[in-house]
Amino acid sequence: METKFNIRNLFEAFIIILIIADLVMLMLITFTSVSYSIFVSVIYFDLMVCIILFFDFIHRMRKETDKKQFIKRNWPDIIAMIPFDIFALNPTYVFFARFLRIFRLARLFALFRREWKYISSFFKQTHINFAFGMLLFTLFAGTIIFYIVENGSNPSIHSFWDALWFTVTTMVAGNSNISPATYDGEAISVFMMLIGVSFVGVLTASLASWLMSKSKKTEDEREERIKNIETSLQDIKKEITELSDLLKKE
């Protein structure tokens, strides 16, 4: 049996990626100082995510028979899809910035809760805890060490974010528009490149395998339902035949 990707499974994976990105960006503007242009970009990205979550929530609710029970069970999703931060773009609401930050923290918790069950299920099924941990460790440790080594020697490294940009692009793409200026920086970049290429490939393969297994499970369930229907039809046909024979005898 040929297994194909299920559109719903692909959409769930897309939702997980969007929410993780949204979580990172919201934490960035919550706990660090960023330029206004970056702040506005994060707000509009968050608005897009909220719109997608809203339509996904409506789609899932329409499939449920007990709507009230569904809302009661998934009430944090309602908090997760409310774009509180859009009010921060209006100067009239600057006074409420502190309250908006509290609501943002509540949304961070709701978003995390919204997708944690999918992320934990993904880790359990694919066993990529080590690969994901190695990528995170390399990302943070590599950024800090590269910044310490290159700061003052590399004219392209002006801040910690420059070092982070170098680390991310090196790990994901294998190269960066920032070049190391020291031998230590070159050694670190080679190490990050090897770790990134190796473990990003593992994550990609694991994600593909996870989607395939979910699609296969969906197809198996569909085939099982078809078999049950066929069995029921055969039973009905047999009962009709027996009833017909009894009527003929009478």
CA 138 to CA 190: how far, in whole Å?
A: 12
Could you give phi then psi for residue 141, rounded to 5 degrees? -65, -45
Please give the residue range of the domain that contains residue 37.
Answer: 1-126
- Here the CATH number for the domain that contains residue 246 is 1.10.287.70
Q: Could you give the count of Cα atoms lying within 13 Å of 8 in the half-sphere of its Cβ?
A: 9
pTM over 0.85: no
Model confidence over 3-46: pLDDT tens digits? 444 566 667 777 777 877 887 787 777 777 777 888 888 888 88
- Show which of 126, 156, 181 is a domain's final residue: 126
Distance between CA 218 and CA 205 in Å, rounded? 20
* Cβ-proximal residues to 153 (8 Å cutoff; 6+ apart), any chain: 181, 182, 185
Select from 89, 107, 126 the last residue of a domain. Answer: 126
Domain match, 50 and 100 both: yes
The residue among 126, 156, 190 that closes a domain is 126
67 φ, ψ (degrees, to nearest 5): -65, -40
Together in a domain, 204 and 134: yes
| Confidence at residue 4, expressed as pLDDT on a 0 to 100 scale | 45
CA atoms of 13 and 224, how far apart (whole Å): 25
Residue 50 CB neighbour total at 10 angstroms? 19
Question: What is the count of structural domains for the chain?
Answer: 2
Residues 6 or more apart from 23 whose CB is under 8 A from it? 108, 111, 112
Residues 134 and 222 in one domain: yes
Same domain assignment for residues 155 and 173: yes
Condensed to tens digits (0 to 9), the pLDDT of residues 113-137 reads 666 666 666 666 666 666 777 777 8
Do both 55 and 2 map to the same domain? yes
Residues 199 and 222 in one domain: yes
Q: 3-state class of 171 per DSSP?
A: helix
Whether residue 168 sits in one domain with residue 91: no
CATH number (domain holding residue 76): 1.20.120.350
pLDDT in tens, the chain (250 residues): 444 445 666 677 777 778 778 877 877 777 777 778 888 888 888 888 888 888 888 888 888 888 888 888 877 778 778 787 777 676 665 556 556 666 666 776 776 766 666 666 666 666 666 677 777 788 888 888 888 888 888 888 888 888 888 888 888 777 777 888 888 888 888 888 888 877 777 777 776 776 676 666 666 666 777 777 877 777 787 777 777 776 666 6
Is there a contact between 226 and 155 (Cβ–Cβ < 8 Å)? Answer: no
